[in-house]
């Protein structure tokens, strides 16, 4: 089959690779009908060193189940399913806690260990716990929004949930990428009164306003902190959704939180230590977040997608076939596309 293979930074190609096969009796194989390129795929695209093993990319997909292992009980051939970016057994203590990204039998797609979904097909470990069956037609117009439940919408929701967004709260969203935009949707959905987007790209700002952003801060660093305080009567926001992962964005996130506020971080941190430890301490800021257990959130978010109350699929502003995937990476890296949908 054909798949997207990353060899090193800047070198991503469509290659012929062996077809995925059932290895464990708990596996399933799905043919991919929709996948996407993620902002987090841009980190290896920028930094990956050449290694012995190349990496089949992609961790967000919708597909049709083609085969299941002998111990798969709830998923069957022909099912249309969402593949969340992490696999999980659905039965361990952390899965029961709704934290599937910490599953004791879990892992992540599109890594060196587990092949990803920017491909014609993909092997799904722990199929019963991982896959979410959809009861809609394969070519439903809601497909882009349903696809975001595999990562970005669930991740934006996780940022909002861990930042304790609720009715009447003042909220800031740091980052205007696909996750930040979904964070705006999530904050609005959870009843935030004020939603300040920190971003600089005109097209993304326009979309954020449609999603419910009430204010925009395009400054950076101390100026951004000052501006956010001005917009909140001097006190800062209750909840900050950190959707970037860089030191500067984390520092800004902590400094714009009001005393007693919370930061929900979903941007993959690019450094070991956490910045702004001192203001976080003196202002009693809760710093939370991490890899989103999107599998846990599908049930909560799905009805709003099916009813058209939220339209996170609008962040997918370009569609390519497999051959167009390398161009898709380039477009996202150059900020010419917010997020690229792949139709293998
Ligand atoms: Zn588990």
Please list the rounded mean pLDDT of every run of 10 residues in the chain (344 residues).
95 96 98 96 91 89 98 98 98 97 97 96 98 92 97 98 98 97 98 98 96 97 97 98 94 98 93 91 97 97 97 98 97 96 97
The rounded Cα 155 to chain-centroid distance in angstroms is: 5
For residue 3, the CA-to-ligand 1 centroid distance in Å is: 28
Q: How many Cα neighbours within 13 Å face the side chain of 85?
A: 27
Token couple for 56: 């089949």
For residue 214, the CA-to-ligand 1 centroid distance in Å is: 39
What's the pLDDT at 306?
97
What's the pLDDT at 207?
98
Q: H-helix or E-strand containing 8?
A: strand 2-8
What's the pLDDT at 272?
86
For residue 162, the CA-to-ligand 1 centroid distance in Å is: 20
For residue 247, the CA-to-ligand 1 centroid distance in Å is: 31
Is 6:57 a contact under the CB 8 Å cutoff?
yes
* Cα-based angle 266, 272, 277 (whole degrees, multiple of 5): 80
For residue 344, the CA-to-ligand 1 centroid distance in Å is: 30
Is 23:123 a contact under the CB 8 Å cutoff?
yes
Task: Give me the residue label for tokens 């003042």.
Answer: 170
Rg (C-alpha) for the chain, rounded Å, is 20
What's the pLDDT at 138?
83
For residue 241, the CA-to-ligand 1 centroid distance in Å is: 26
What's the pLDDT at 331?
97
What is the pTM (predicted TM-score) of this model?
0.96
Q: Single out the residue of 138, 125, 123 nearest to residue 29, CA to CA.
A: 123
For residue 221, the CA-to-ligand 1 centroid distance in Å is: 39
How are strands ordered across the β-sheet holding 286-289?
215-217, 194-198, 170-174, 237-242, 257-265, 286-289
Beta strands in 137-208 (DSSP E): 170-174, 194-198
Residues, CB within 5 angstroms of ligand 1 (ion) = 88-89, 92, 95, 103
Cβ neighbours of residue 17 closer than 8 Å, sequence gap 6 or more = 1, 2, 3, 5, 56, 115, 119
For residue 297, the CA-to-ligand 1 centroid distance in Å is: 15
For residue 99, the CA-to-ligand 1 centroid distance in Å is: 8
For residue 328, the CA-to-ligand 1 centroid distance in Å is: 33
For residue 101, the CA-to-ligand 1 centroid distance in Å is: 8
User: By CB neighbour count within 10 A (0-12 exposed, 13-18 middle, 19+ buried), where does 36 fall?
Assistant: buried
């Amino acid at each position: 089959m054909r798949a997207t293979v990353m060899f090193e930074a800047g070198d991503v190609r469509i290659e012929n690779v062996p077809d995925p096969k059932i290895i464990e009796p708990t596996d399933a194989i799905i043919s991919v009908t929709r996948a996407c390129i993620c902002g987090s795929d841009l980190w290896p695209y920028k930094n990956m060193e050449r290694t012995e093993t190349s990496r089949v990319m992609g961790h967000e997909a919708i597909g049709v189940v083609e085969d299941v292992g002998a111990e798969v009980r709830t998923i069957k051939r022909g099912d249309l399913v969402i593949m969340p970016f992490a696999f999980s057994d659905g039965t361990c203590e952390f899965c029961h806690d709704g934290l599937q990204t910490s599953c004791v039998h879990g892992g992540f797609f599109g890594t060196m260990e587990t092949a990803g979904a920017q491909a014609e097909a993909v092997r799904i470990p722990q199929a019963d716990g991982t896959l979410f069956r959809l009861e809609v037609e394969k070519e439903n117009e809601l497909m882009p929004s349903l696809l975001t439940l595999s990562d970005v919408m669930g991740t934006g929701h996780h940022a909002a949930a861990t930042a304790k967004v609720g009715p009447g709260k003042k909220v800031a969203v740091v980052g205007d990428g696909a996750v930040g935009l979904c964070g705006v949707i999530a904050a609005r959905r959870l009843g935030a009164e004020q939603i300040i987007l920190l971003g600089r790209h005109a097209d993304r700002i326009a979309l954020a306003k449609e999603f419910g952003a009430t204010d925009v801060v395009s400054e950076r660093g101390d100026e951004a902190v000052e501006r956010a305080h001005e917009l909140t009567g001097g006190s800062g926001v209750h909840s900050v959704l950190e959707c970037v992962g860089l030191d500067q964005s984390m520092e800004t996130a902590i400094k714009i939180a009001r005393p007693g506020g919370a930061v929900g971080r979903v941007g993959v941190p690019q450094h070991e230590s956490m910045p702004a430890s001192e203001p976080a301490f003196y202002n009693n800021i809760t710093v939370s977040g991490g890899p989103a257990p999107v599998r846990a959130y599908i049930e909560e978010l799905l009805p709003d997608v099916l009813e058209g109350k939220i339209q996170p699929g609008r962040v997918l502003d370009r569609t390519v076939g497999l051959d167009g995937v390398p161009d898709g990476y380039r477009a996202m890296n150059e900020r010419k596309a917010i997020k690229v949908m792949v139709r293998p």
